[in-house]
Amino acid sequence: MRMFGTNGVRGIANEYLSCELALRMGRCIGKVLGPRIAMACDTRVTSDMIRSALSAGLMSVGTDVLDLGVVPTPALQLYIKEHHEITGGVMITASHNPPEFNGIKCISGDGTECPPEEERRIEDLYDEDVPTVGWKDVGSILRISNAAEDYVRSIVSKVDSESIKEAGFTVVVDCANGASVETTPMLMKELGVRAITINGNPQGEFPGHPSEPTEDNLSALKKMVVDLGADLGIAHDGDADRCVFIAGDGRYISGDAALAILSRHLLKKEGGNSVTVTVATSAVVESTVASCGGDVVYTAVGSPIVSRAMRDNGSIFGGEENGGLIFASHQYCRDGAMGAAVMLECILSEGPLPEQLDSLPRYYTVKKTAYCPDELKQTVTDEISSNHADCKINRMDGLRIDFDDGWVLLRPSGTEPKYRIYSESRDRDTAEQRAQVFLEEFESTLSRL
Ligand code: MG
């Protein structure tokens, strides 16, 4: 049975995501990921139930469980990466989804997200009767209490913490009442930052605001940054693998702008030569990276894809426009608190964020949505691609066409009968007209099939 989506197994707890499912899943994960599994969760009220059932399943096939408690996903991933005897991991989280949801995300023994092949092996076992071990061989649970401190200490060692301490920054942190409630305030303290934390209560019902760190959900954070004259606002999603920023003047920094700003800082600091982003990323990143003498490597959409590409091509930095930031110097996964620390270092070296934002080239992006039945997605993409054979075409994820003054991306949704059409240009009218032209071409092509 197909169970893993782009972000692990997700559903409403005690409905789709039941104890029975978690127990059975635990047996399959134990069989595939091996004899020592580290486990953590975010603050959701159903996390204890899911982790108890999952642990029972794991132990019944002879797997030992190291329970890290409530920590961010990247803290679990770092713990796995740094402890070689651990053969895999499980994060119980539904990231930014509403509080009734929960989820199971699997981590490989090197701390990176499980590749799809490994998830397929787990799913394939789900339909079988996985044999349990004899009573003498069942696994045990060991509670680990230092994963949060280890994560914070590791980040402090990767940035210029002495200079950050001397700067006397004021920062407002919005934890969305999620997995970062302990770690990010602790990190700010270790970095000598005067930090004011909002939505820092691990109640599990996310009453502060929905835990997706979008501009609309962060109005309280924006206001506090301005009212307190803070240097920076930081917001995480529910499991704190992502991080978004508010500049000192209250402006929300888009994910694309954050990628550009951090790329510029890191290329100067670390002297690497490439940054990896997805084909849906604004050209603001490519033009900023080019101005520093670097190259951009493009991949399909999905943070595990970006992470693996970075490892293969030696990029120092990469990420996605939703606040997923990946630092090769730390670990190959989205790393929310690391993003916060590097942004402080970036303000020190490149100046206040409002000025950095104003220095970026301005691009306009238009997004449209078109209906398309799943079975016709490939044919439509092929047809439109052949209509533009004389253009610069990229088929890595849907169809991207680059023009001298912008680009268009037609990307099939992985979960719905839809296409998303992105159009970007330095000129607003060009971006809008081109989005409309391609929407009409898409609809007329589909109507002929
Ligand atoms: Mg997340």
Instruction: Using the mean position of ligand 1's atoms as its centre, give its distance from the Cα of residue 414 in Å.
Output: 18
How far is CA 430 from each of CA 29, 143, 241, 279, 408, rounded to the nearest angstrom?
50, 57, 35, 19, 11
Amino acid type, 400: R
Last residue of a domain, one of 113, 145, 177: 145
Residue 3 lies in a domain: no
Going by their DSSP bridges, the two strands 418-425 and 364-371 should be labelled as antiparallel
For position 174, which CATH number holds? 3.40.120.10
Q: Which residues of the chain have pLDDT under 70?
A: none
Q: Is 313 found in the same domain as 246?
A: yes
pLDDT of residue 206: 81
pLDDT single digits (tens) 218-250 = 999 999 999 999 999 999 999 999 999 999 999
State whether residue 280 is helix, strand or coil. coil
Instruction: Using the mean position of ligand 1's atoms as its centre, give its distance from the Cα of residue 77 in Å.
Output: 13
Instruction: Using the mean position of ligand 1's atoms as its centre, give its distance from the Cα of residue 326 in Å.
Output: 13
Q: Is 318 found in the same domain as 373?
A: no
Residue (of 315, 330, 302, 319) closest to 113 by Cα position:
302
Q: Which residues pair with 195 in a beta bridge?
A: 171
Q: Is 127 found in the same domain as 90?
A: yes
Residue 4 lies in a domain: no
Q: Which residues are catalytic?
A: 95
Q: What is the DSSP string of 384-444?
A: HHHHTTTSEEE-SSSEEEEETTEEEEEEE-SSSSEEEEEEEESSHHHHHHHHHHHHHHHHH
Q: Is 128 found in the same domain as 155?
A: no
Residue 398 lies in a domain: yes
Distance from C-alpha of 71 to C-alpha of 337, rounded to nearest angstrom: 11
Instruction: Using the mean position of ligand 1's atoms as its centre, give its distance from the Cα of residue 237 in Å.
Output: 6
Residues in the chain: 449
Instruction: Using the mean position of ligand 1's atoms as its centre, give its distance from the Cα of residue 141 in Å.
Output: 26
Domain count, the chain: 3
Token duo for residue 321: 């426009």
Residue with tokens 């954070």: 221
Containing H/E element for 262? helix 255-270
pLDDT single digits (tens) 57-100 = 999 999 999 999 999 999 999 999 999 999 999 999 999 999 99
Going by their DSSP bridges, the two strands 170-174 and 101-108 should be labelled as unpaired
pLDDT of residue 7: 81
Distance from C-alpha of 230 to C-alpha of 356, rounded to nearest angstrom: 16
Q: Is 123 found in the same domain as 82?
A: yes
Q: Is 256 found in the same domain as 334?
A: yes
Residue 1 lies in a domain: no
Instruction: Using the mean position of ligand 1's atoms as its centre, give its distance from the Cα of residue 95 in Å.
Output: 4
Instruction: Using the mean position of ligand 1's atoms as its centre, give its distance from the Cα of residue 243 in Å.
Output: 9
Q: Is 437 found in the same domain as 375?
A: yes
pLDDT of residue 86: 98
Last residue of a domain, one of 111, 145, 179: 145
Domain that holds residue 232: 150-358
Task: Measure the CA angle with vertex 354, ends 353 and 356; round to 5°.
Answer: 60
Token duo for residue 10: 């997700």
Instruction: Using the mean position of ligand 1's atoms as its centre, give its distance from the Cα of residue 212 in Å.
Output: 8
Last residue of a domain, one of 315, 343, 358: 358
Q: Is 169 found in the same domain as 312?
A: yes
Give Cβ neighbours of residue 250 (< 8 Å, ≥ 6 apart): 222, 223, 225, 226
Largest separation between any pair of C-alpha atoms in the chain: 71
Q: Is 189 found in the same domain as 321?
A: yes
Note the helical H segments in 6-129.
19-33, 47-60, 73-82, 116-126
Residue (of 219, 197, 229, 5) closest to 101 by Cα position:
5
Q: Is 134 found in the same domain as 16?
A: yes
Q: Is 342 found in the same domain as 217?
A: yes
Q: Is 200 found in the same domain as 333?
A: yes
Cite the beta strand spans of 74-150 per DSSP E.
88-92, 101-108, 141-143
